């Protein structure tokens, strides 16, 4: 289950970015996860819950996951298309495109702390 290693990576990143006092006030983590990122949001939530069950430092922290669409940019006309039904073709000129500009990412989009 690679979701547990992703949870560990997220928490390690936050621990590198914020000091201990700030982390003690952490309330929520917001992620943006691309459809092609090979991450199942439900399994990521389960891994986060299992890792940070009651009694741990982050047991009160909420994890929010926002899926991001697949977007391509046409090499011919430069148009950006949101991919529907895995049809990787420009909606403007109809040419196929493999120039992926969004859809594979997993980003820590925002973190919330109590005041």
Q: Give CA 5 to chain center in angstroms.
A: 14
The side-by-side arrangement of strands in the sheet containing 71-73 is: 80-82, 71-73, 100-102
Share of the chain above pLDDT 70, in %: 97
Does the structure show a pLDDT above 90 at 115? no
Helix (H) or strand (E) holding 31: strand 26-34
Angle between helices 41-51 and 2-17 (to 10 degrees): 60
pLDDT digits (tens, 9 = 90+) for 38-81: 999 999 999 999 888 767 788 899 999 999 999 999 999 999 99
Q: Give the pair of three-digit tokens for residue 20.
A: 């201990």
Alpha-helix runs per DSSP H in 2-89: 2-17, 20-23, 41-51
CATH class of this structure's domain 2-113? alpha beta
Please list the residues that pair with 62 across neighbouring strands: 28
Q: Which sequence spans correspond to the domains of the chain? A: 2-113
**Cα first-last separation, the chain:** 35
């Amino acid at each position: 289950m690679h979701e547990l290693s992703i949870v560990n990576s997220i928490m390690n990143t936050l621990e590198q970015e914020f000091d201990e006092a700030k982390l003690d006030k952490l309330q929520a983590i917001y992620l943006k996860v691309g459809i092609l990122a090979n991450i199942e949001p439900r399994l990521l939530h389960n891994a986060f819950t299992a890792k940070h069950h009651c009694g741990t430092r982050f047991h009160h922290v909420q994890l929010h996951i926002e899926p991001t669409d697949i977007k391509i940019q046409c090499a011919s006309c430069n148009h950006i298309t949101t991919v529907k039904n895995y049809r990787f073709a420009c909606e403007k000129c109809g040419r196929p495109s493999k120039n992926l500009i969004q859809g594979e990412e997993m980003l820590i989009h925002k973190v919330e702390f109590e005041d």
